[in-house]
Amino acid sequence: MHQRKTFTVVLASILAAGLLAGCAPQGTDSASGAGMFAGLPRATPESAGMSSDRLDRIRPAFESYVTDGKLSGVITAVARDGQVVHFEASGYQDVEAGEPMAEDTIFRMYSMTKPIASAALMMLWEEGHFLLSTPLSQVLPEFADTEVYVSGAGDDMETEPPRRPIVIRDLMTHTSGLTYTFIPSPVAASYAAAGLEGSADAVPHDDLAHYVRELAKQPLLAHPGTAWNYSVGLEVAGRVVEVVSGQSFRDFLKERIFDPLGMVDTDFHVPDEKLDRLAVNYAPTPEGGIAVFDDPDTSAYRKPPKVEMGGSGLVATAGDYLRFAQMLANGGELDGARILGPETVALMMDNHLGSAYGPSPMSSLNLDMGMSEGMGYGLGGYSITDTGLTGLPASPGTYGWGGAASTDFLVDSEEDLVAMVLTQLLPTGTYPLRPTMEVLTYQAIVD
């Protein structure tokens, strides 16, 4: 998913593949069958129809990446029937400092921000402020004259009027015609020239409103509703939230989602008093090891961004995000806090891409993230359409997404299941963490 740059990119201290071998700290398992984790009850796997022995296969599978020097550390979590049956932290949040991965480690969530931004937009949809078919220009007039790319590049670029306007749904399904700078195209080059990098610290704009106004001046890569193009659509969705609610995007998320759900560490930056909990972000080396990419001491996440990115900007702990995911699994409610109605959650998790997009609409993303046939796209995340075609066991209708630094989650309403794997390694797809976690979670279901 999309990568946020740091003020100072650190690619130093090249680590040989064997540097971490044998030095991973003992993993911690917080799902012992008693007590609570992140405000959710812990339970034995057997009480939730899962096998302890089979869930025990998760730890060695992921810990091997740590001992082989491929990952710094990893957190895995599984909840079923609203109960945490597996939670394990292995390895380090900071290899160089020897700081173990912990329950309260803070992660850069990158594109796992998208489901949260989509939930925010759907809260306003529930209040009747707009329909999914409402033209975006009715809320953001700056998009009234946005054109569509035809040919050429730079000053020689040719454009034409769109066949239909961008509608609100398009922002969450990546069918608006918007794009990202990291997916090469003449339009992406035009974005980059305008400072529209899609990462808050890389854009020369005063706030989200300014960013979106500049974005609206750029041509669309495709006619709205004709192609799936991974994009800054959720950044625009964040601006819709601001205009409709009259609040900043951050304030809306805090008041309407984070505070009600008890997501106490989720934000667009990490304050100084929590900085020692922010994991180091790593990148792979040619030798098969890892090197520091973003150190907390020099990270852009140390101060609030001017542009609050709905597609890539949040940080969170595993516990915080598990609470958000469990809210979705519960049909929009958690611990008495009703965020969305159950039918709204079902609509979010349903596939919104018709047959015109083909059997593998996300192939245009061109990243090795295990995005296969049998996957459609809901509002802010994938939606499984055909289990056989995916080659993975998640039920049809399962919803999820991941982030640039190899974080991933899924919600399976049919199995009342939430699963998550979190680490900090750019780029995503370096190793098959998402499909591995999916297989190891589902093979443990015995009832």
Question: pLDDT tens for residues 249-267?
Answer: 999 999 999 999 999 999 9
Q: Are residues 43 and 186 in the same domain?
A: no
pLDDT computed for residue 200 by the predictor: 57
Bridge partners, residue 50, by sequence: 445
Q: Which of 91-95, 276-280, 370-374 has the lowest mean pLDDT?
A: 370-374
- Residues 268-285: what's their mean pLDDT? 98
Q: Residue 4: inside a domain, yes or no?
A: no
In the predicted model, is pLDDT for residue 31 greater than 90?
no
The whole-model pTM stands at 0.92
**Secondary structure string (H, E, C) spanning 136-164:** HHHCCHHHCCCCEEEECCHHHCEEECCCC
Q: Residue 128: inside a domain, yes or no?
A: yes
Q: Residue 22: inside a domain, yes or no?
A: no
Decide which of 249, 275, 298 is a domain's last residue: 249
Q: Are residues 193 and 237 in the same domain?
A: yes
Q: Residue 103: inside a domain, yes or no?
A: yes
- 9 pLDDT tier (thresholds 50, 70, 90): very low
In the predicted model, is pLDDT for residue 223 greater than 60?
yes
Decide which of 211, 226, 249 is a domain's last residue: 249
Q: Are residues 309 and 347 in the same domain?
A: yes
Q: Residue 15: inside a domain, yes or no?
A: no
For all residues of the chain together, what is the average pLDDT? Answer: 91
Q: Residue 26: inside a domain, yes or no?
A: no
Q: Are residues 187 and 289 in the same domain?
A: no
- Residues 325-341: what's their mean pLDDT? 99
Decide which of 249, 276, 299 is a domain's last residue: 249
- Residues 372-389: what's their mean pLDDT? 91
- Residues 413-442: what's their mean pLDDT? 97
Q: Are residues 278 and 424 in the same domain?
A: yes
Query: Could you tell me the CATH number of the domain that includes residue 245?
Result: 3.40.710.10
Q: Are residues 82 and 142 in the same domain?
A: no
- 392 pLDDT tier (thresholds 50, 70, 90): very high
Condensed to tens digits (0 to 9), the pLDDT of residues 113-135 reads 999 999 999 999 999 999 999 99
Question: Residue 244's domain spans which residues?
Answer: 119-249
Condensed to tens digits (0 to 9), the pLDDT of residues 343-371 reads 999 999 999 998 878 777 777 665 545 55
Q: Are residues 136 and 235 in the same domain?
A: yes
Q: Which ranges of 249-292 does DSSP label H, i.e. alpha helix?
A: 249-253, 259-261
Q: Are residues 51 and 93 in the same domain?
A: yes
Q: Are residues 298 and 175 in the same domain?
A: no
Q: Residue 133: inside a domain, yes or no?
A: yes
In the predicted model, is pLDDT for residue 198 greater than 80?
no
Q: Are residues 222 and 295 in the same domain?
A: no
Count of the separate structural domains present in the chain:
2
Q: Are residues 331 and 216 in the same domain?
A: no
pLDDT computed for residue 23 by the predictor: 40
Q: Are residues 315 and 412 in the same domain?
A: yes
pLDDT computed for residue 35 by the predictor: 87
pLDDT computed for residue 404 by the predictor: 96
Chain-centroid distance of CA 196 in Å reads: 20
